[in-house]
Amino acid sequence: MNFKKGALLLLSGPSGAGKSTLIQTILQHQKDVYFSISTTTRPRREGEVDGRDYYFVSKEEFEKDIEAGMFLEWAKVHDNYYGTSLRPVMQALDAGKLVLFDVDVQGFAAIRKSPLSSLLTSVFVTTPSKEELRRRLAARGTDSEEVIAKRLQNALEEMAYMKEYDYILINSDLKKSQEAILSIAKTARLKRSQEEIQEFINYWQAN
Ligand code: ADP
Ligand code: 5GP
């Protein structure tokens, strides 16, 4: 008997810590990976593509989707809505893929409480210091001074939840962080749901 279901790998951490960069590394180096494209009401940044980085929608459209029960989880972050649609995640899991999430601490709390939690591996990505985060946000050049100030404040609040995650990745040397995330991604695939474990026990007994 072969286990064929996928697993979940979730990254959280301050905006600017390097989550997207590390997700790209996994997508480039490993097969059978699916990035869960979130839906958001925040304005598109230069270089971002609708349907690749996010689905960019209006506040009204987002609220309609909440009403329709489309989201596995959703949250308000820095005054904008962000959410994960349930259907594509379930399809990717059924196809045996490792599903990658870039969600905030509220999204992590929701997925951890969901029936998918037994398949979940979580990583909190951060910079070595607040000053380094400020530098990266400024160097990325996509946010105004005001937005950067808000992101730094939010970062401090998010850091309080670090201890809840399976792994902490202090992203100083990018190459080392890339090696670490690839190892975590390999291991994350070994998670099994309660249902799959029971199926395996039944099979094992019968053979
Ligand atoms: P996030 O997805 O967490 O918001 P990004 O992946 O967009 O963060 O990274 C923010 C900026 O920091 C980008 O310009 C990225 O190239 C840069 N960056 C990522 N990792 C490192 C690192 N280890 N050292 C220096 N700069 C980095
Ligand atoms: P950014 O605006 O920098 O792309 O993302 C801001 C924050 O929103 C980050 O902490 C990111 O992890 C989080 N985020 C992105 N997509 C989702 C989502 O679908 N759900 C939740 N809860 N947070 C998300």
Residue 1 resides in a domain: no
Q: Which ligand is nearest to the CA of 174?
A: 1
Residue 94 resides in a domain: yes
Ligand 1 center from residue 136 Cα (angstroms): 6
pLDDT in tens, 97-154: 999 999 999 999 999 999 899 999 999 999 999 999 999 999 988 888 998 999 899 9
Residue 130 resides in a domain: yes
Q: How confident is the model at residue 79 (pLDDT cuts 50, 70, 90)?
A: confident
| pTM (2 d.p.) | 0.93
How many domains, the chain?
A: 1
**Lowest-confidence segment of 60-64, 171-175, 179-183, 198-202 by average pLDDT:** 198-202
Residue nearest to atom 5 of ligand 2 (CA): 15
Is the separation of the CB atoms in 66 and 79 below 8 Å? no
| DSSP strand pairing (98-102 vs 7-12) | parallel
Residue 120 resides in a domain: yes
Residue 92 resides in a domain: yes
Helices H, strands E: what count in the chain? 8, 9
The single residue listed with the structure tokens 């839906």 is: 39
Q: Which residue has the higher pLDDT, 2 or 93?
A: 93
Residue 2 resides in a domain: no
Residue nearest to atom 16 of ligand 2 (CA): 103
Residue 33 resides in a domain: yes
Here the CATH number for the domain that contains residue 43 is: 3.40.50.300
Ligand 2 in reach of 127 Cβ (< 6 A): no
Residue 31 resides in a domain: yes
Q: Which domain holds residue 87?
A: 7-206
Residue nearest to atom 21 of ligand 2 (CA): 103
State how far the Cα of 55 lies from the Cα of 32, in Å rounded to an integer.
22
